[in-house]
């Protein structure tokens, strides 16, 4: 493991702003009570299920006490392990949209808080040889001005318990070469076609730079096509075990 990241020692401007905004009075995201925390304790008890059993490989909710869902048993995913804090459904989808499309950067801190309280997340953070936010294309980055996956990765490291030795967040190891068409509404096969040759590693990057267990971070996992494409790339360059953390997981149809 490398030493704690500089972000953990010296919060960046966005982190300091998010900390200030986090202390301002607000409405509950669910019941709209005012003033409240970002989600009041009553709504949190109803909406958040940190002990919900999820597939260890794809993070879908499990109906039984098994560790892996039927889909992953049939078609083993490239991710060794994947954790999600919540389902991509109300009210959590609203958090993602506020962060992703409305420049409300403080929500990255809120998402990190829930992820860090999700079983298994701390273990994956500590096992990581490097932390890799899923990148945006250059065009999407210019349009948005920030990468929400990078904000989430930095927030996770900054809010992790002090004294932990975490791997560094490396925002430039992964490159997104093409601005793929919008993925919303597409099935897994269509998403995979969109993502063919979409990612690359920074020129000159060596296998030792990735280490044995790269950890991917993203805001939402829909079908797993994006994370699978990146995991395939990393494994081809010698990383034997790729794990992932996502804030929200889109449930399978019927769940």
| Confidence (pTM) | 0.85
pLDDT, tens digit, 9 for 90 and up, residues 126-146: 999 999 999 999 999 999 999
φ, ψ at 37 (rounded to 5°): -75, 175
Give the position of tokens 């494994």.
Answer: 235
Question: For residue 96, what are the CA distances in angstroms to 90, 106, 233, 239, 253?
Answer: 10, 11, 26, 30, 20
Average pLDDT estimate for 152-159: 97
The answer to whether 76 and 224 have CB atoms below 8 angstroms apart is: no
* Mean pLDDT value across residues 111-123: 95
Q: Tell me how far CA of residue 193 lies from CA of 183, 207, 208, 252, in angstroms.
A: 11, 27, 30, 20
For residue 24, the Cα-to-chain-centroid distance in whole angstroms is 26
Question: Which residues are bridge partners to 246 per DSSP?
Answer: 84, 218
* CA-CA-CA-CA dihedral for 119, 154, 28, 26, to nearest 10: 150
* pLDDT at residue 5, rounded to an integer: 41
Domain coordinates in residue numbering, the chain: 6-249
Structure confidence by residue, pLDDT tens digits, 215-241? 999 999 998 989 999 999 999 999 999
Listed in sequence order, the residues at least 6 apart from 126 whose beta carbon sits closer than 8 Å to its beta carbon are 1, 164, 165, 166
C-alpha to C-alpha distance for 195 and 153, rounded to whole angstroms: 22
- Chain length of the chain: 255
Lowest-confidence region among 122-126, 159-163, 172-176: 159-163
23 to 154, 161, 187: CA distances (angstroms): 19, 20, 40
């Amino acid at each position: 493991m490398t030493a704690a990241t500089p972000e953990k020692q010296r919060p960046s401007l966005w982190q300091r702003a998010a900390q200030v905004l986090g202390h301002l009075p607000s409405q509950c995201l669910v019941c709209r009570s005012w003033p409240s925390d970002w989600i009041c304790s009553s709504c949190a008890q109803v909406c958040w299920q940190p002990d919900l059993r999820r597939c260890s490989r794809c993070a879908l909710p499990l109906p039984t006490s098994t560790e892996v869902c039927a889909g992953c048993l049939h078609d083993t995913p490239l991710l060794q392990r994947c954790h999600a804090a919540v389902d991509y459904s109300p009210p959590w989808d609203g958090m993602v949209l506020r962060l992703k499309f409305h420049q409300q950067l403080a929500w990255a801190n809120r998402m990190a808080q829930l992820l860090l309280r999700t079983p298994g997340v701390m273990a994956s953070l500590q096992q990581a040889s490097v932390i890799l936010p899923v990148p945006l294309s250059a065009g999407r980055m210019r349009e948005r001005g920030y990468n929400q996956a990078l904000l989430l990765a930095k927030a996770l490291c900054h809010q992790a318990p002090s004294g932990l030795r975490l791997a560094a967040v490396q925002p430039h190891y992964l490159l997104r070469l093409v601005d793929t068409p919008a993925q919303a509404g597409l099935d897994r096969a269509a998403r995979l076609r969109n993502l063919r040759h979409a990612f690359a590693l920074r020129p000159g990057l060596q296998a030792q730079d990735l280490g044995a267990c790269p950890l991917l971070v993203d805001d939402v996992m829909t079908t797993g096509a994006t994370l699978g494409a990146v995991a395939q790339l990393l494994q081809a360059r010698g990383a034997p075990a790729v794990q992932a953390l996502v804030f929200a997981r889109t449930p399978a149809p019927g769940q």
